[in-house]
């Protein structure tokens, strides 16, 4: 098998890249190790920056997003029993959209299978050969056979646990990481959201986030210690903890309903540089992970592949690799801004084990500043709704 661009990974990054390349008339093949059902049901992100929603629309995946996505004009910060709205539309003239990653993947898979280039499920890449040369090759297993995909370029969109990043020689790679001492317990509940917008709460004994998936399904997250087993959190315990962390001085109440999914995600920050080695490029979680507070992971994956598709289109039109040469640096500038934002949001809102009273006072001072100063609120709004592509 041969193609111009071999894409490893059929998550949001790989699927969107394939779509964008297809629209530019650039031949590609996507290899995804899991089944279609698995990738379409993996519960993850749900908040889309304006630029992410625009990118999905531009590649033809906007119909259901526009019909079912929930446009939000702000968020609420909750601390010390008080509520403060950050009004994105007023502060920076931008909005965000709530639309689940599962639905984005379903939309992109359906488009790809209808008229796109090949997308192979249960096709696990196990080696990338000669990425430093002009004819890299992917070796993969599919339908019980070992096969090869000869490419001009290989893009690793294979997530944090994929093989692409490790193909770059260790001596040429730098990694930067921070593990936080806590995780998120995330639930999906069949109950209408209790708030019209997302609520980020700094409770006395930890963080809680109220999000949603639709007018009838709520998505909630709770800070828990690392190593937590979701089985140790029966439904009543979860709702009681959420109640305590969202508590306000007014009559706001959290609606309870049947919990249909529970999972625990450790909080981690990780960046691997550079994002290119010869004819191998990395995009999305394959190169970087952010702690989820502020929902940057999926949005970064989308901005990476938008820049990459632009660079490949430039190569096809002009024969110049100039944009591919600057791809890594341009992405990493954006990645570090998002990393900083995610770390700031995380440390401002979570109970810091061993942090003590001084740390708590600093957290409250940072939150108060955002509540009281339009300049501080506008900075949060600009980063939350997303920096323009290429900045
Ligand atoms: P992925 O979605 O990880 O996709 C990579 C794909 O590559 C997978 O389908 C995988 O099966 C495939 N693959 C891996 N290895 C191979 C191989 N060898 N051969 C072929 N295919 C391979 N972000 C938020 O913004 N908010 C959240 O609440 C949030 N929650 C998260 C919860 C969890 C448990 C995780 C893991 C991530 C979460 N994220 C969240 C991050 C967000 O979901 C990711 O940033 C996003 O999925 C990145 O997309 P991606 O396509 O780069 O990687
Ligand atoms: C969601 C996740 C986040 O990490 C976040 O900051 C906002 C929303 C969500 O899954 O809906």
Structure tokens belonging to residue 306: 């938008």
Q: 101-115 and 12-23 helices cross at what angle (nearest 10)?
A: 40
**30 - beta bridge partners?**
7, 119
How crowded is residue 179: how many other Cβ atoms within 10 Å of its Cβ?
12
47 C-alpha to center of ligand 2: Å? Answer: 6
Per-residue pLDDT tens for 202-241? 998 999 999 999 999 999 999 999 999 999 999 999 999 9
163 C-beta closer than 6 A to ligand 1:
yes
240 in a structural domain: no
Instruction: Give the number of the ligand closest to the Cα of residue 297.
Output: 1
57 in a structural domain: yes
Q: Is the pLDDT of residue 391 over 90?
A: no
345 C-beta closer than 6 A to ligand 1:
no
For the entire predicted model, the pTM comes to 0.96
Domain boundaries, position 50: 2-72+99-178+268-352
Residue 54 CB partners (closer than 8 Å, separation 6+): none
Give the mean pLDDT of 176-203: 97
Residue bearing the CA closest to ligand 2, atom 1: 46
pLDDT at 192: 98
- The DSSP H or E segment spanning 129 is strand 123-129
What ipTM is given for this predicted complex?
0.96
Q: Is 236 helix (H, G, I), strand (E, B) or coil?
A: helix
Residue 200 CA: distances (Å) to CA of 78, 244, 315, 319, 350? 6, 13, 43, 47, 10
Q: Is 176 helix (H, G, I), strand (E, B) or coil?
A: strand
Residue 356 CB partners (closer than 8 Å, separation 6+): none
Count of structural domains within the chain: 1
Q: Work out the percent of the chain whose per-residue pLDDT is above 70.
A: 99
12 C-alpha to center of ligand 1: Å? Answer: 8
pLDDT at 98: 97
Instruction: Give the number of the ligand closest to the Cα of residue 109.
Output: 1
Ligand 2 atom closest to the Cα of residue 292 is: 4
Positions marked active-site: 72, 200, 292, 296, 384
C-alpha–C-alpha distance, residues 20 and 62, integer Å: 13
Q: Is 300 helix (H, G, I), strand (E, B) or coil?
A: helix
From 45, 49, 138, 301, the mutation candidate for ligand 1 (largest count of ligand atoms within 8 A of CB) is 45
Ligand 1 atom closest to the Cα of residue 186 is: 28
How crowded is residue 255: how many other Cβ atoms within 10 Å of its Cβ?
12
C-alpha–C-alpha distance, residues 180 and 174, integer Å: 20
Q: Is the pLDDT of residue 144 over 70?
A: yes
C-alpha–C-alpha distance, residues 327 and 314, integer Å: 12
330 C-beta closer than 6 A to ligand 1:
no
pLDDT at 204: 86
Ligand 2 site, CB within 6 A: 45-47, 198, 209, 211, 219, 292-295
Q: Is the pLDDT of residue 43 over 90?
A: no
Beta strands in 157-193 (DSSP E): 174-189
How crowded is residue 197: how many other Cβ atoms within 10 Å of its Cβ?
20
Residue 217 CB partners (closer than 8 Å, separation 6+): 188, 189, 190, 191
Q: Band of the pLDDT at 390, cuts 50, 70, 90? A: low
C-alpha–C-alpha distance, residues 272 and 332, integer Å: 9
Residue bearing the CA closest to ligand 1, atom 18: 125
261 in a structural domain: no
From 78, 99, 265, 295, the mutation candidate for ligand 2 (largest count of ligand atoms within 8 A of CB) is 295
Residue 150 CA: distances (Å) to CA of 123, 184, 189, 211? 15, 41, 45, 43
84 in a structural domain: no
157 C-alpha to center of ligand 1: Å? Answer: 9
13 in a structural domain: yes
Ligand 1 atom closest to the Cα of residue 265 is: 34
Per-residue pLDDT tens for 77-124? 999 999 999 999 999 999 999 999 999 999 999 999 999 889 999 999
337 in a structural domain: yes
CATH number at residue 14: 3.50.50.60
368 in a structural domain: no
pLDDT at 1: 95
**End-to-end Cα distance, the chain:** 37
359 in a structural domain: no
Give the mean pLDDT of 267-285: 98
Which burial class, exposed, middle or buried, applies to 186 when counting CB atoms under 10 A from its CB (0-12, 13-18, 19+)?
A: buried
């Amino acid at each position: 098998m041969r193609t111009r661009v071999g894409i490893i990974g059929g998550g949001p990054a790989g699927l969107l890249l394939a779509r964008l390349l297809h629209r530019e008339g650039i031949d590609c093949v996507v290899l995804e190790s899991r089944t279609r059902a698995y990738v379409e049901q993996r519960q993850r992100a749900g908040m889309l920056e304006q630029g992410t929603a625009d990118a999905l629309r531009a590649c033809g995946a906007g119909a259901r997003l526009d019909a079912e996505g929930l446009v939000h004009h702000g968020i609420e910060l909750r601390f010390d029993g008080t509520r403060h709205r950050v009004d994105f539309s007023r502060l920076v003239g931008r909005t965000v959209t709530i639309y689940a990653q599962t639905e984005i993947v379903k939309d992109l898979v359906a488009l790809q299978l209808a008229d796109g280039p090949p997308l192979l499920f249960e096709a696990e890449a196990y080696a990338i050969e000669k990425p430093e040369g002009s004819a890299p090759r992917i070796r993969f297993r599919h339908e019980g056979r070992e096969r090869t995909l000869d490419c001009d370029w290989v893009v690793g969109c294979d997530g944090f646990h994929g093989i692409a990043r490790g193909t770059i020689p260790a001596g040429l790679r730098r990694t930067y990481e921070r593990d936080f001492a806590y995780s998120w317990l995330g639930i999906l509940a069949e109950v209408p959201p209790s708030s019209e917008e997302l609520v980020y709460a700094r409770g006395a004994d930890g963080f809680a986030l109220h999000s949603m998936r639709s007018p009838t399904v709520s998505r909630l997250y709770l800070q828990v210690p690392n190593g937590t087993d979701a089985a140790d959190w029966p439904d009543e315990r979860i709702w009681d903890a959420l109640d305590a962390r969202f508590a306000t001085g007014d009559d706001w109440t959290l609606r309870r309903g049947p919990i249909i999914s529970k999972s625990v995600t450790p909080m981690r920050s990780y960046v691997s540089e550079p994002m290119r080695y010869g004819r191998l490029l990395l995009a999305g979680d394959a190169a970087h992970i952010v702690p989820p507070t502020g929902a940057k992971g999926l949005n970064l994956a989308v901005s990476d592949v938008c820049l990459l598709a632009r660079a490949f289109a430039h190569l096809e039109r002009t024969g110049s690799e100039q944009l591919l040469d600057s791809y890594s640096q341009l992405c990493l500038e954006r990645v570090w801004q998002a990393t900083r934002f995610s770390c700031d949001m995380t440390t401002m809102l979570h109970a810091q084990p061993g942090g003590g009273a001084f740390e708590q006072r600093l957290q409250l001072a940072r939150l108060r500043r955002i509540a009281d100063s339009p300049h501080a609120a506008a900075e949060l709004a600009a980063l939350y709704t997303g920096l323009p592509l290429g900045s």
